[in-house]
Amino acid sequence: MRERFSTEDSNNSTEFGCSVHELQGLMQLRGAEAVEVVNKRFGGASGLCKRLKTSPTQGLSSHDLAKRREVFGTNIIPPTPPKSFFQLMWEALQDVTLIVLMVAAGVSLLLALYSKLSNDMLKMKSRKSGKYGRPLIHQRQDK
C-alpha cells in the first residue's frame, strides 16, 4: 500500500524521519500486527527511535520539545462528550436483570389492581343483594 503525504508532511518527515501520518497509522495498530509493522518499516523500536531522533533511555531534550510540538502537534486525546441521561437510561434498560425486575413489577402491579377491583366488585354485589342490611332488620323484629 502506497501512502501519499502533503508537502508539509514530507518536510516534517525528512526532519524527524517519520511523518505525522505514519505515526498516526502506527498508533491505530494493536498487538502482533503493530510489532510486525514496527519491525518491517522502522527496524524495530530502536530503529524508530533513531528515525525520530530520540533516545529510548533519555527521552526528549527540553530544547527539542517546542520544535516537536510544532511539527507533530500536542499529544492530547480529545475528550469524548458525556452521554445524556436518556442514553444512559436506554443502556440500563438493555440489562437482563433490569428487564426481569420490570416484568416482575408489572405483573405485581397488575395483580394488585386485579385484586383491588375484584374486592370492590364483591362489595358492590353484596350491597346490591342486601346481605348487610337483612341481619339488622331480623334482629329488630325478634325483640
pLDDT in tens, 28-63: 888 899 889 888 888 888 888 888 888 888 888 777
- Of the two residues 17 and 124, the one the predictor is more confident about is 17
Average pLDDT of span 95-110: 96
Sign of CA dihedral 55, 60, 62, 66: positive
Q: Which residue matches cell numbers 343483594?
A: 129
Flag whether 1 is in a domain: no
Task: Give yes or no: residues 28 and 68 share one domain.
Answer: yes
Flag whether 19 is in a domain: yes
Average pLDDT of span 1-27: 62
Give yes or no for a contact between 21 and 5, defined as CB atoms under 8 angstroms apart.
Answer: yes
What pLDDT band is residue 73 in, cutting at 50, 70 and 90?
A: confident
Task: Give yes or no: residues 99 and 123 share one domain.
Answer: yes
Average pLDDT of span 70-93: 90
Flag whether 90 is in a domain: yes
* Residue 37 lies in domain: 7-72
